Structure 1
């Protein structure tokens, strides 16, 4: 059999190509009505209906026919026909022929039909092909002599990026590719923006027209649709947003190609009005290359067209199947995949009764005609084939379809009850019988059934439109918005920013749910105007309540003033209760917000407040709900929650000392850190938790108006590690914000723990260090280092203030004494610091590591902590020691300060450390630690604590304010570097044995080091 396609010449054929919005369809209509007769083929029944209406307006209804698979309007002597491409005749004698959207010739499902028409259908005088510029090369290849006319887009198209669905501008079409997704988006738009129209390919043309009209007339501002809107529908769309970029093409799920995206995006902007496109939902933003192609309409050319033979062999079913399987021999054409009709033929050919009855060419042709029945119901191929079999048997045996069978099927579909899916299924069923009634020769009384099925389909379509509108459009909100836009018969008007106008007069301001009338209104009509305003506001209040109830958490916020704001407007305020983490919510609304609407607003705001607190303060919330904490751990956790995540270690020293390792580990699992000065939760030191904690405390203690509230959080957010304190501020706010108040400066809590880590190795005993006259040894002194200044962001003067606040004593010495002391330490300082840190780790002192972790976790801690009054005062001894130095400052160089643990400040009062350290000399080898914890838990800590308790009473009476001491404390010796730990038997301390380390070798001093500079200063003073 010859499968060479017969292709007519391209001479006399014109192709008008270009992107969307180039006026191609309008041009074709103008050309058709300029001829005496014509026919135009369109890709969709909906579009055919639109073009039919436009042609009727030009030449009159008696001169235009509408022919689709399901509808036929044929006035006698009609000169023009508007058809779907499938309904176009294979041959015609009209003067003009036009085929729209010819790029669909490459479509896998319908492409072969478009290919057949553009290759074989011609007008006597003019043939016009309309489509994308991607068809240019293939048309030139297949139709030699064709005239190509390229038209530019009338407006520009721009990429607008990614936006949330609820943030899309008005007059937006949102595109998805499944009914479920379309309905879900439309439901969201209804809750957030008042309503949306929906357009799906599965809807009947009447329903789609009604939904499009709902959008075009301005009843709704959003259209949610499938790619059906990409096929020439003229819509007033400003923006197209892709909520999906994958679709099922009948065979597989795949990403849309740039040409398909461009066809849909091109619906934005009509005539000379520019449009935009973008993505929304879960679709990733388009890459730059794709955006450029869509904006400039540069797409890959169509290289092959789908083709199926136009010469069918009706000699037998097998012969028909062979002809359908024939491949083209012309380059640029490819055999189409089996369509619905061919799939039905494959099924029916396997039925013996079909093979037996189809014994002549006429019946083979009739079988092929029956197989063309569209599968509107989207059922399985086998079920669809069974329906075709029933119709075919009737046509062969009776000559027409059994009308009793048809009547029963129509009767089942003639019901308007049910929801959207039920009505859609009935419409699909009635469309099948509408198609049957329009097939020539299939029914004895086709006119009756055409009218009957059309009536039922219209009734079902109207019911479906009603259900869609009821579900996806808030009529009250949409009508109000429409009237405000049109300003027709309006009694009241509300502007975007909340200004309320009645009959053109300003009435006041609407903020949230509170209306504030303007003052000074007079006259007899004032009350009536105000009543009209409140009447209009009642509708607005209900609409706002519905939107607030459906709003997301991103639309709500809690301010530092305790107000809950929705889209920037205050709708509620928080009031403190006995439980600091559960404030009470009081609505800020007028009396016009009543009933269910008010309950919905209150419930939504309360739900947001509880969610916000439990989310931002999740570590604290989890700790308050912890059920696995027992005994002291549970009590300590309760105190930590009551104090909003920060405890001074001195306040719970006994509890911490008594807490066993399991208890500490269980608390650490909830993010609790045991530092040298504080028990705290690093996660709560960040700006957001700190701001919320400060607000909750202020709500409970009437602190919103206290000085300092709201001023410290911005400092914290800037990442400051220490700040200059303001005496007028409430000190408690420093603690709540995560800062330790230390006189003239406040330091972040986690930074203080890092400072303790730096000081600890500098205070450890070194072999050969001489003892001081007061019993202390000189090894327990240090100078401030660059690292200390760096982490604190402080100057040396600031550092002096901070160390005094922590209870350290400054020894003011001359430059010679400082140089001698530091020179003795030069060879070992760095090594000892490293060794001390390693030793701490080896001995199980995990608290230093915990403090470092806290610093890393709290990137920008809050600012607060109300300290006792004595915290900003240096110890008396330190003050006295500095007075001579200050008196001689003008005459002598500034003395050097050597720091050592001194008299107890308020920070250490009652703890014995690190200020007035009351431990035996042998136990003071650790860094100053509040609460009496010198080592990490787990390595005999309980026994060390007991040992300290046994000796503390005697030392307090005889040696208060001294370091080192004599007698019992000297006998115990220093624990640093003395070899193995004392052996314990039955929890009794055994005598310690000491081993001295060999002396360190002197190392050369770096001339650029501070020690070398001190030495040089000493030499200058001698001279």
Structure 2
């Protein structure tokens, strides 16, 4: 980098060059060999004289000569220093990124199948159970699961893992249940029911069952199915999936050099569109499943039914699993006449549903509200007509029945790419973890694979790197599942991380929420999520003796939530400004009258807080 004096000298040389060039163009304007003629001119006495006059006439050059201490010149020099420093930093950063990319390429094998050497040393045979919803594909796989010497069942949901756990132990097959939330170990257990993320790729099994393998394309969780297919060390592997996943799964199996056979399954009961127009709530009948696509709409729809004396169970994604299980049991026992649910009902839940009713045909996918696609409609509609309960399954819709019917019969295009998770082996590479995540995310993954979405992890990682550069600690906290959009959960998560960085820990009493009388469902749900966060934290960093207290508090919250739902008296929706009752499917939080008032007199409502009715 130049000193200030060198910088001034360079400025003088550059300015002299520009003046000489301009003077040359003025004196000799055209003709042949003009550059040579200009050079000859400046060597002459006349040329030297005119050039000296031009130098003296230029104010900027004279300023550089005679006022080298001017604040403006020093400010320009400081800007120069800043620019040079930034350029060097950019070059250093680019070099570090280049080295990091090379390290990533060295660390990751060219083919993802080589990430699992233990499975590559085995001869694995796959039995592919292909068929639509309610075709019995998982049932056949689980029959072999029970007969195996030791086996593992990999489910998309804790609810399904719990169902297999219960049925296996009831059938005299000792079975553990291990999920991200809890571990239940049975004496002498030879079998295991787990969520797919909990698979160990180092333990041998005689048999494995991978359920709902079409989830392999899911950009958030699909990497767990890819890992299971490529890495589960079992001699026989049953894979249950929709037909559109078959081609991709076979490609992965052939990549591994394993063998396979296909078992096709067909619905035991026909699925048909019900004739006539459906009107809610007049046309609701027993054993209906009413489908909406948000928790708010589930609870509003259920409240409307309960007001009319129609008992109902509710199911939505964020409802705690044990509460969801009790709601399902009430429907199975006939205690509740209908079920109101989101698309969470479409994932492997076998319920005595006679008719599926789509009350909405659009869903919010995290970014935009979009129409349902064929895969989603077929998965949900297929829940109607459970074998042994009904001879025919029906589906209908309150709006756009034609679109729903077309999508049920549509052929879903085959999946093209399996999702890859971020390889944990890369944590040890030099550099910031956020930079490693970013560089891995930007690298090509080939035609057969795509990368999991890790924008959330990168953003959270950059926040944690402000407190420490311990990459193992950061990664452990990144893999704790929680809703970072909840201010309460995010604050607790960050506080727990800070306490680990400082090495002081956080007492359980400061995390565990208290339960009070007459708390609404939403508050209890948040407290259950806080308990889940505390459970993950305690399992990884805390005292093992604290886990029973956490599980007991979760049970108490679940009991209270189940009690509220069992009362069949969910509150109706009300306008947040005047308290007027709203229609169950009103998309807004205020009534039309209050909306008109706000438009007519906005100055009266500016900054005014809404009431909570």
State the alpha-carbon separation in 1 of the partners of residues 427 and 535 from structure 2: 29
Judging changes above 3 Å, is the alpha-carbon distance between structure 1 residues 312 and 76 closer, same or farther for their aligned structure 2 residues? Answer: farther
Matched, 1:27 2:128: no
The residue number in structure 2 matching 1:469 is 566
The answer (yes or no) to whether the contact 2:496–2:506 under 8 Å persists in 1 is no
Which of these residues, 31, 42, 57, is aligned with residue 155 of structure 2? 42
The residue number in structure 2 matching 1:238 is 354
Q: Secondary structure at the match of 1:143?
A: helix
Judging changes above 3 Å, is the alpha-carbon distance between structure 1 residues 5 and 379 closer, same or farther for their aligned structure 2 residues? Answer: farther
Which of these residues, 74, 81, 86, is aligned with residue 192 of structure 2? 81
Judging changes above 3 Å, is the alpha-carbon distance between structure 1 residues 328 and 97 closer, same or farther for their aligned structure 2 residues? Answer: farther
Matched, 1:423 2:504: no
State the alpha-carbon separation in 1 of the partners of residues 274 and 223 from structure 2: 36
Judging changes above 3 Å, is the alpha-carbon distance between structure 1 residues 305 and 245 closer, same or farther for their aligned structure 2 residues? Answer: farther
Judging changes above 3 Å, is the alpha-carbon distance between structure 1 residues 327 and 256 closer, same or farther for their aligned structure 2 residues? Answer: farther
Judging changes above 3 Å, is the alpha-carbon distance between structure 1 residues 33 and 369 closer, same or farther for their aligned structure 2 residues? Answer: same
State the alpha-carbon separation in 1 of the partners of residues 238 and 567 from structure 2: 43
Following superposition, the deviation at residue 280 of structure 1 comes to 4.0
The residue number in structure 2 matching 1:408 is 510
The answer (yes or no) to whether the contact 2:422–2:452 under 8 Å persists in 1 is no
Following superposition, the deviation at residue 14 of structure 1 comes to 2.2
Q: Deviations over 1:546-581 (max 9, x none)?
A: xxxx999xxxxxxxxxxxxxxxxxxxxxxxxxxxxx
The residue number in structure 2 matching 1:126 is 236
The residue number in structure 2 matching 1:301 is 414
The residue number in structure 1 matching 2:217 is 106
RMSD (CA atoms)? 2.7
State the alpha-carbon separation in 1 of the partners of residues 457 and 489 from structure 2: 10
The residue number in structure 2 matching 1:116 is 227
The answer (yes or no) to whether the contact 2:373–2:407 under 8 Å persists in 1 is no
Judging changes above 3 Å, is the alpha-carbon distance between structure 1 residues 14 and 375 closer, same or farther for their aligned structure 2 residues? Answer: same
The answer (yes or no) to whether the contact 2:384–2:395 under 8 Å persists in 1 is no
The residue number in structure 2 matching 1:250 is 366
Pick 1 or 2: higher relative contact order, CA cutoff 8 A, min separation 6.
2
Following superposition, the deviation at residue 472 of structure 1 comes to 4.1
Judging changes above 3 Å, is the alpha-carbon distance between structure 1 residues 189 and 344 closer, same or farther for their aligned structure 2 residues? Answer: same
The residue number in structure 2 matching 1:150 is 264
State the alpha-carbon separation in 1 of the partners of residues 213 and 194 from structure 2: 14
The answer (yes or no) to whether the contact 2:288–2:339 under 8 Å persists in 1 is yes
Which of these residues, 432, 447, 461, is aligned with residue 533 of structure 2? 432
Equivalent runs, 1:862-873 vs 2, <5 Å: none
The answer (yes or no) to whether the contact 2:377–2:407 under 8 Å persists in 1 is no
Q: Deviations over 1:27-55 (max 9, x none)?
A: 22211122111111101111211111111
State the alpha-carbon separation in 1 of the partners of residues 146 and 439 from structure 2: 39
The residue number in structure 2 matching 1:278 is 395
State the alpha-carbon separation in 2 of the partners of residues 100 and 343 from structure 1: 32
Which of these residues, 545, 548, 551, is aligned with residue 451 of structure 1? 548
The answer (yes or no) to whether the contact 1:377–1:425 under 8 Å persists in 2 is no
Which of these residues, 82, 93, 112, is aligned with residue 6 of structure 1? 112
Following superposition, the deviation at residue 253 of structure 1 comes to 2.4
The answer (yes or no) to whether the contact 1:104–1:110 under 8 Å persists in 2 is yes
Following superposition, the deviation at residue 116 of structure 1 comes to 2.1
Q: Secondary structure at the match of 1:95?
A: strand
Following superposition, the deviation at residue 388 of structure 1 comes to 4.0
Judging changes above 3 Å, is the alpha-carbon distance between structure 1 residues 134 and 112 closer, same or farther for their aligned structure 2 residues? Answer: same
The residue number in structure 2 matching 1:372 is 479
TM-score (ref. length: structure 2)? 0.68
Which of these residues, 419, 432, 439, is aligned with residue 317 of structure 1? 432
Matched, 1:165 2:165: no
Q: Deviations over 1:145-167 (max 9, x none)?
A: 43322211221111115411220
The answer (yes or no) to whether the contact 2:524–2:557 under 8 Å persists in 1 is yes
Q: Secondary structure at the match of 2:334?
A: coil
Q: Secondary structure at the match of 1:457?
A: helix
The answer (yes or no) to whether the contact 2:124–2:236 under 8 Å persists in 1 is no
Which of structures 1 and 2 has the bigger CA Rg?
Answer: 1
TM-score (ref. length: structure 1)? 0.42
The answer (yes or no) to whether the contact 2:290–2:358 under 8 Å persists in 1 is yes
Equivalent runs, 1:601-680 vs 2, <5 Å: none
Equivalent runs, 1:733-812 vs 2, <5 Å: none
Equivalent runs, 1:808-847 vs 2, <5 Å: none
Which of these residues, 495, 516, 519, is aligned with residue 390 of structure 1? 495
Judging changes above 3 Å, is the alpha-carbon distance between structure 1 residues 274 and 249 closer, same or farther for their aligned structure 2 residues? Answer: farther
Q: Secondary structure at the match of 1:65?
A: strand
State the alpha-carbon separation in 1 of the partners of residues 536 and 321 from structure 2: 14
Normalized per residue, the structure richer in helix is: 2
Which of these residues, 459, 463, 473, is aligned with residue 347 of structure 1? 463
Judging changes above 3 Å, is the alpha-carbon distance between structure 1 residues 201 and 378 closer, same or farther for their aligned structure 2 residues? Answer: farther
The answer (yes or no) to whether the contact 1:377–1:429 under 8 Å persists in 2 is no
Q: Secondary structure at the match of 2:112?
A: coil
State the alpha-carbon separation in 2 of the partners of residues 408 and 299 from structure 1: 50
Q: Deviations over 1:909-948 (max 9, x none)?
A: xxxxxxxxxxxxxxxxxxxxxxxxxxxxxxxxxxxxxxxx
Following superposition, the deviation at residue 76 of structure 1 comes to 4.7
State the alpha-carbon separation in 1 of the partners of residues 557 and 169 from structure 2: 26
